[in-house]
Amino acid sequence: MLAEETGKHSWMKPLSDFRNYLQARHYDPQGRNWLARSINDETGTIKIAANAYSPELCLELLRYALSIDADEADRAWAAGEPPRFQLLGMKEILTIDLYWGRYAYQRPFTALSEYRQIFENGKRYRIPHEYKVYERKDLDVTREVEVPFVDEQFHGIYQGLRSAIASVANAESVVKKGGIYYTHVTETNEFDIDAEGAEMFFDFELDHALEYYGPHADVYPSDVVHYLARFGTVSFKKGGHSSWDRMLRIGNQLHRHGLRDILNDPDALIAKLTGQAAQVPCAAMSAPATGQLSLGF
């Protein structure tokens, strides 16, 4: 379509460039997160294996997508017509922030902050003209090893789907499921972000959220999940408490041990986690992932 001689489809080139870049990086080993998203409950270990895209690549892709959207929005405004496309709306941006918090990928509200920088402050990120195209053989998916992960803090009461901040403020609402207490969250048949709630959050709450989290050097990424759940902006799928609790514990653990910046480096992960294992009491490595919780402070 782009090669059509009249050029009537030329406006699609940024979308084509983005698709091609994503395809080129799909098998990039350094563009992957090498830490698994589940632990061995019996041994307290976790697999080092090729997983989802790395935090760095996800942020890079977000910036490109938002820049493409912003360019089209500027063109449409100048032409006095609606945009021809939009890759990411406010619901999607807020969802990205929520899942980046779930997996400890970025500081709270990083996606919304990037949106503001690009759409309001004119920042732009351009896809490189030249880049390496990776092939399936470049990603060694057969390389797997288990390393120590669970420590004495992993099962702490406030290391999963419970908010220490809400508890300290005496504003915590909890629900008991399977003998375990979780923060009460809005539940629906499917995960959802309320569109109107997302717009209201951006208009009235984002400044406060960025001001609160901005100056802090060691904010837990999971704070964004508690923040949005507290405002009722997000609805969790029914029965999803344990899943979110499990992933938040893994995310908080990797944040405590400073693993985020090396998630795309399997050798560095192995060295870091095996080196720290000697500092963890042996009993902690076999702690069950049930309701046996401790404060861990």
Give the predicted TM-score (pTM) of the model: 0.87
In a domain, 291, yes or no: no
pLDDT in tens, 8-38: 888 999 999 999 999 999 999 999 999 999 9
Q: Report whether pLDDT(286) > 60.
A: no
In a domain, 183, yes or no: yes
CA dihedral sign, ordered 255, 258, 261, 263: negative
Residue 100's nearest CA partner among 114, 90, 110 is 110
Residue 199's nearest CA partner among 67, 91, 101, 77 is 91
Number of domains in the chain: 1
| Distance between CA atoms of residues 103 and 161, nearest Å | 13
Q: Report whether pLDDT(278) > 80.
A: no
In a domain, 48, yes or no: yes
Give the residue-averaged pLDDT of 207-225. 80
In a domain, 32, yes or no: yes
pLDDT in tens, 158-205: 899 988 877 777 777 888 888 888 888 888 899 998 888 888 888 888
In a domain, 65, yes or no: yes
Task: Quote the pLDDT of residue 53.
Answer: 97
Q: Encoding tokens for residue 210?
A: 């960025």
In a domain, 198, yes or no: yes
Q: Report whether pLDDT(233) > 90.
A: no
In a domain, 165, yes or no: yes
Q: Encoding tokens for residue 240?
A: 């999803």
- Residue appearing with tokens 């690549």: 57
Structural domain including 194 reads: 13-272
Task: Quote the pLDDT of residue 194.
Answer: 83
Q: Report whether pLDDT(265) > 50.
A: yes
In a domain, 293, yes or no: no
| Distance between CA atoms of residues 222 and 160, nearest Å | 8
